[in-house]
Structure 1
């Protein structure tokens, strides 16, 4: 019989991912289709909480010069789409539909790399990993929605690209609480450190001080 401690007994989650030399942030699918109640998939409370917290995170990150990559999900027509089982995605996630636009609360068109993804992960067939390679990012902070779908897929791809991966629980959201918590627990056992906004802000502050100290030493020499 399986108990709740069996994963822990078998060493799952024993080794923290930790933080590396340079952070980058991905913002997954905070498009109006998820953040405005007038759309079929919009306005879920956990998603709106995540949106508000990600807005706070990005304000600090941009001030510190942290690379940010944002994405939406949109298609030319249903023929281009994968075999989505969600009617609302098939009907509204189109390039010419207003729900495809990124929410302005998290989007800075003059700062962010923006990609339109066609699958669940922001890394799949997009230039995000190339952008992070040029920026020498080794630690990826994952924000956005939905936890059980595109956040999980993005986190696994981030892990697969050999990034240290942090997922702030209060910067990601889902339609329901149970899959949100279940999926975070699961990826936290295997691939990522599940943290929170305060932890992430403290990490960015430490990184900025280290970077600025390094730049100042280089200038002095």
Structure 2
């Protein structure tokens, strides 16, 4: 079987496209992932994603786009699912400094803030209800890690019937291979894998359409 077998079987043929209103989810840009002093922190792809997500959010907030921001934290190990990652079990606790949001992507006065307990930002949180109330139909997924929480969040966004965009340069992982492998697989089935420029263009187009309707 060759490398084009997925394509030959029609995977990825139909683009998701964009709808009428964007919303952005920001997944786990907490200090445990963005500061190198912590065991899981400072991966180059994650830091690139943080920088690009900050650019996206600056425009989004100026235009009034709904933003949902999350961290992952637990009261103790008894509350946790069965994580196989020692660093998660030992540091992702409510009183640990690693679970604090990175200030570069967080606005407590603007963002819907949730503390998730599972990989997806949508699982047992109020994010879907918030986006429904805001009439969001297109979700832009940002954050880390691509092979874990980004993948889970993207599949849940798809399952909730959102058009889902994942800017490659606004998500990151520990290693490049799983980052690209998971984006490739998501792009075959559930999402449009785009880039920061495309996401910004979508926000600009949406904002311009709002001004036209108000005129």
| Alpha-carbon distance, 1:45 to partner | 0.1
SS at match of 2:3: coil
Deviations 1:22-53 (A, max 9, x none): 00000000000000000000000000000000
Tell me the equivalent position of 2:40.
41
Tell me the equivalent position of 2:99.
100
Q: TM-score, normalised by structure 1?
A: 0.97
Match status 1:198 vs 2:197: yes
Equivalences, count = 215
Tell me the equivalent position of 1:79.
78
Give the whole-Å Cα distance in 1 for the aligned partners of 2:74 and 2:109. 24
SS at match of 1:3: coil
| Alpha-carbon distance, 1:211 to partner | 1.1
SS at match of 2:101: coil
Match status 1:146 vs 2:145: yes
Give the whole-Å Cα distance in 1 for the aligned partners of 2:3 and 2:66. 38
Where in structure 2 are the equivalents of 1:53-72 lying within 5 Å?
53-72=52-71
Match status 1:156 vs 2:155: yes
Give the whole-Å Cα distance in 1 for the aligned partners of 2:140 and 2:194. 10
| Alpha-carbon distance, 1:215 to partner | 2.0
Q: TM-score, normalised by structure 2?
A: 1.00
SS at match of 2:71: strand
| Alpha-carbon distance, 1:3 to partner | 1.0
Structure 1: give runs of 5+ residues left out of the alignment. 217-221
Structure 2: give runs of 5+ residues left out of the alignment. none
